[in-house]
Amino acid sequence: MRGLPQRNVLGLFVIDCSMEELVASVASEITKGHTIHLVTLNPEMVAHAARCAEFLRILSCAEYRVADGIGIIAGARFLRSPLRHRLPGIEVAQALLREGEKRGWSVFLLGARKEVLKKATDTVQHKYPALRIVGIQHGYYQNDTEVSEKVRSAQPQLVLVSMGSPRQEEWIDRNRSALSGTLFVGVGGSFDVLSGIKRRSPALFRRFGLEWAWRVCSEPRRIGRVLPALLRFGWLLVRARWGSYSLAWKGQDGPDDIPGSSPPL
């Protein structure tokens, strides 16, 4: 992570680098035996962190935070701390799988429904035939301890967790200390896309940062969750731009106005 530029977005420092730079950096950390958590940040996550001290702690303690949603890019620009690079979670996952195939990484896929995970695994193995998939586990399990032990026993170097936020980040936070030389990444609904169950938004939507609109149109029920989060995120930006608001983690006391995430390197 050393040497990668970062920008302050509401007190969370977001790495601003290309996909190639990100992959090279995390690969170096894995080689050194470091265990790291990479967060693909979007406005919903920030809005949730503003109301949940524990989730804010998890985001703040992650070694890597990159801008997934266009809302983070727009928010950073609004705060006069512009980010040049947006790294969507699905693209991060694909880039890491490609790198994993080249470097012979062991990979564990965790999350999604059983049938979705099976199709995603088949697709990944077909696309990256030299990739070493050492374990898979669907996300609708009953015993968290058994799943944690299953992942630990597999000793993966890359764990992709597709459970949706905040569940995936919470799982990573609980289990990361059991492994060394492992990269954990929460990838949201990426397994749905990898499996072919869901289509990614058309290139035109992606080009103009409108993937969120495509997802809402494809799944109208999402609007009840997305809209309040976006409004809350917007209000946080206004408070930060014309006030002194900044997210911060201070134990269990909740967010306040003192910056609390790691400073730029």
Give the position of tokens 């970062």: 6
d(CA 210, CA 83): 17
Average pLDDT over residues 135-159: 97
Between 162 and 260, residue with greater pLDDT: 162
Per-domain boundaries in the chain: 26-242
User: Quick one: pLDDT band at residue 226, thresholds 50, 70, 90?
Assistant: confident
DSSP code for 178? G
- Among 75, 97, 72, CA closest to 162: 97
- Among 20, 69, 2, CA closest to 40: 69
Q: What is the pLDDT of residue 69?
A: 80
pLDDT exceeds 50 at position 167: yes
Beta strands in the chain (DSSP E): 6-9, 12-15, 36-41, 64-67, 106-111, 132-137, 158-162, 183-186
Q: Which two tokens stand for residue 28?
A: 């170096």
pTM recorded for the entire structure: 0.88
Residue 187 amino acid letter: V
> How far apart, in Å, are the Cα atoms of 136 and each of 51, 54, 111?
33, 28, 8
d(CA 4, CA 70): 20
Q: What is the pLDDT of residue 225?
A: 73
Reported as a single tens digit per residue, the pLDDT across 93-124 is: 999 999 999 999 999 999 999 999 999 999 99
- Among 36, 37, 42, 38, CA closest to 9: 42
Residues in the chain: 265
- Among 208, 73, 191, CA closest to 133: 191
d(CA 216, CA 228): 13
Q: What is the pLDDT of residue 260?
A: 33
Q: Which two tokens stand for residue 122?
A: 């088949």
Beta strands in 128-212 (DSSP E): 132-137, 158-162, 183-186
Q: Which two tokens stand for residue 37?
A: 């958590």
Average pLDDT over residues 214-238: 79
